[in-house]
Every structure is written in structure tokens, then in C-alpha cells.
């Protein structure tokens, strides 16, 4: 059996990204998340409504397996809780390898709960059962995935009211093309890392200026494959997936892979089928209109079009990249 290389930090980061994207999607872009650099003070990101001037601090705690007692185990450092915890919250969730990356129910615990229970050991260790049976210390803080966005809006409204203010009318909302692209890229990275059990690493540029969204590298061979990800938000009943790229800036290189990844916004996950096309083949098969190259294909398993040879089960994305990387390692 091959070694599972996924560590605590990697799993935690995947959960943090999944939650941040879910917050923006569940509020239709009304709320935003911003991460600190570096993360060294117990806050994974702030959540805010642009233009409001108020925010809440979120610390994400993810558990991927239950302990001997059948409960999820969490640890929170006492030093992570600020002296004034009124706008500090700990989000405890059960992480999942499959998207959306976390279970349907989680805990959103006010920091004041921990501030009132100082631990002599320097950290709190607590367990949360996965079944709703009997009384639970944490029951008051349970929140369903679909209610997370509205609950955070309520917290921001309370933070504004504490300053004798109100949240202003929403000025920036909706799923922008940039947000759509980021969420799809994050989802593809999540799938590649979890499906390969951490054997694949995904590197992302700080600024995408050359049409390169990421480099997928094998941590075993250190051989990599560059990729460009083109996402499209779709509905489950859609019969066609369509994306376009600028022909003048598209680099038709055979070593570069174009990943077409349709995303189901309502389910916070990628569709069951995606496409992985070498960039030189993409340039030849795509239809050109003006300065655009158009991809249009059916996701149905029994369809047959020019893109069918490159259609793969999304569950096999890591296997496809591992195969391509292994072939390059032999040359």
C-alpha cells in the first residue's frame, strides 16, 4: 500500500479553504473572507461585508476521524483566544476527503465560551459527538451548512449594533467570474490532493499572468505537470458545458493540461465528470469565434462528441495526473 502523505496541516488548510469558499457561495458573494499573512495568532480569517467596517474573526478546527469514544476530538490553544473575545468564533467541523470538504453540520462557538473556561494545561481538549443523542454541552452552537451564511450575517449585524451602527445596504454581491474561477481552482486542487492521499502537491502562482493556474507535482518523483483550469457553474440538469479562452493569449503547449471542471454551486462540489485536454489538442479542437476559443461538450456518459476522448470521471482526476507525470518521469 502506498503511503498516505496527508498531514494535519494539509488537512486543516483544505478545510479552511472549503469553508471560506462556502461562506462566499452561501451568501451569494455578500460576505468575503480575508486570510492573515502569516497565520500566527489564532485567526484563520476574518469574515466581513465590504463597506461595512465590521468583521468577525474565525478560527477553523477540523477533525477527520473520530476517537476511541466515537466522537470528534478538537484542541484549541488558550493563547489563541483574544482578551476581548466578543467577535471571535471557533468553527469546529468534520472534514471530508470529498467535496464540499466538510460535513453537513458544524459548531460555531463564541470565543467567550472558552474565555470563561481557562485551562491550566494551556489548551482546551474537547470532544463532540457525531450523533444527536441525549444532551450535549455544544448543542446550542450547532449550525447546519446551509445556515452558516445567514448566521454569520447575524453576527455581523450584532457587531455593528454594538457600535450603534447598521450594516449598510449590500453594494457588492453576486458570483463574479473571478470568484467562480477561484472556487473552481480550489475545488480541483482539493480533489487532486485528497484523491492522491497527499502524493500530489498543487502550486499556485500569486498572479496568473500567463494562463497558468497551477502546477501539479508528484512528491515522490518531483516531476510536475502544469495546468490551466477553466470552470463553469452549472445545474445538475444541464446538458452542455461551455467555456471559452482568449485565443491570442492561449499557449498551445503539449505539456500543459487544460482542465475543464463544471461546478455545482447548490451542492458545493464539482460535477461527476470533467475533461483533461492537452493544450495543443484543445487549440485544435476548440471552435474559434473572433478572439475566443470555445469548448462545448456534453457531460453525459453516453454522449459522443469531439471532446469525449478527454472526458474523465472527476473521481479519477488524480489518477490521470499521476499517469501523465509518471510518463514524463520516464522520458
pLDDT tens, residue order, the chain (331 aa): 355 678 888 899 999 999 999 999 999 999 999 999 877 778 999 999 999 999 999 999 999 988 877 899 999 998 888 888 999 999 999 999 999 999 999 999 999 998 877 666 789 889 998 776 656 788 899 999 999 999 999 999 999 999 999 999 998 878 999 999 999 999 999 999 999 999 999 999 887 777 789 999 999 999 999 999 999 999 988 999 999 999 988 989 999 999 999 999 999 999 999 999 999 999 999 999 999 999 999 988 888 999 999 999 999 999 999 999 999 998 8
> How deeply is 315 buried, as exposed, middle or buried, from its count of CB atoms within 10 A (0-12, 13-18, 19+)?
middle
pTM of the model: 0.91
Domains 8-161 and 177-329 fall in the same CATH topology:
yes
State whether residue 2 is helix, strand or coil.
coil
Domain map of the chain by residue range?
8-161, 177-329
CATH topology of domain 8-161: Trna Endonuclease; Chain: A, domain 1 (3.40.1350)
How far CA 104 is from CA of 93, 144, 187, 300, in Å, comes to 9, 6, 17, 28
Contacts of 287 (CB under 8 A, 6+ apart): 293, 294, 296
Q: Answer positive or negative: Cα dihedral of 29, 45, 78, 126.
A: positive
Q: 242: which strand partners?
A: 296
Among residues 327, 324, 322, 209, which one has the least CA distance to residue 277? 324
d(CA 42, CA 90): 10
Distance separating alpha carbons of residues 263 and 71, to the nearest angstrom? 32
177-329: CATH class: alpha beta
CA nearest to 225, candidates 254, 251, 196, 248: 254
Amino acid at each position: 500500500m502506498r503511503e498516505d502523505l496527508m498531514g494535519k496541516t494539509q488537512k486543516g488548510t483544505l478545510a479552511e479553504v472549503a469553508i471560506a469558499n462556502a461562506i462566499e457561495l452561501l451568501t451569494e458573494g455578500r460576505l468575503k473572507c480575508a486570510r492573515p499573512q502569516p497565520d500566527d495568532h489564532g485567526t484563520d480569517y476574518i469574515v466581513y461585508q465590504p463597506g461595512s467596517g465590521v468583521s468577525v474573526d474565525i478560527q477553523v478546527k477540523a477533525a477527520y476521524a473520530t476517537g476511541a469514544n466515537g466522537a470528534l476530538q478538537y484542541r484549541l490553544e488558550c493563547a489563541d483566544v483574544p482578551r476581548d473575545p466578543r467577535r471571535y468564533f471557533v468553527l469546529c467541523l468534520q472534514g471530508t476527503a470529498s467535496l464540499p470538504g466538510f460535513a453537513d453540520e458544524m459548531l460555531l462557538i463564541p470565543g467567550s465560551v472558552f474565555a470563561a473556561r481557562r485551562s491550566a494545561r494551556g489548551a482546551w481538549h474537547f470532544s463532540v459527538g457525531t450523533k444527536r443523542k441525549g444532551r450535549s454541552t455544544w448543542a446550542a452552537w450547532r449550525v447546519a451548512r446551509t445556515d452558516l451564511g445567514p448566521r454569520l450575517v447575524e453576527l455581523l449585524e450584532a457587531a455593528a449594533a454594538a457600535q450603534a451602527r447598521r450594516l449598510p445596504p449590500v453594494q457588492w454581491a453576486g458570483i463574479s467570474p473571478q470568484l467562480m474561477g477561484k472556487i473552481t481552482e480550489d475545488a480541483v486542487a482539493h480533489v487532486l490532493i485528497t484523491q492522491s492521499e497527499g502524493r500530489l502537491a498543487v502550486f499556485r502562482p500569486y498572479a496568473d499572468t500567463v494562463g497558468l493556474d497551477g502546477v501539479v507535482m508528484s512528491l515522490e518523483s518531483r516531476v510536475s505537470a502544469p495546468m490551466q483550469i477553466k470552470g463553469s457553474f452549472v445545474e445538475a440538469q444541464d446538458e452542455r458545458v461551455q467555456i471559452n479562452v482568449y485565443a491570442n493569449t492561449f499557449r498551445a503547449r503539449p505539456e500543459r493540461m487544460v482542465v475543464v471542471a463544471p461546478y455545482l454551486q447548490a451542492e458545493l462540489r464539482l460535477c461527476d465528470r470533467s475533461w483533461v485536454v492537452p493544450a495543443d489538442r484543445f487549440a485544435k479542437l476548440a471552435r474559434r469565434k473572433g478572439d475566443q476559443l470555445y469548448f462545448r461538450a456534453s457531460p453525459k456518459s453516453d454522449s459522443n462528441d469531439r471532446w469525449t476522448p478527454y472526458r474523465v470521471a472527476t473521481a479519477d482526476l488524480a489518477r490521470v495526473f499521476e499517469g501523465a507525470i509518471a510518463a514524463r518521469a520516464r522520458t
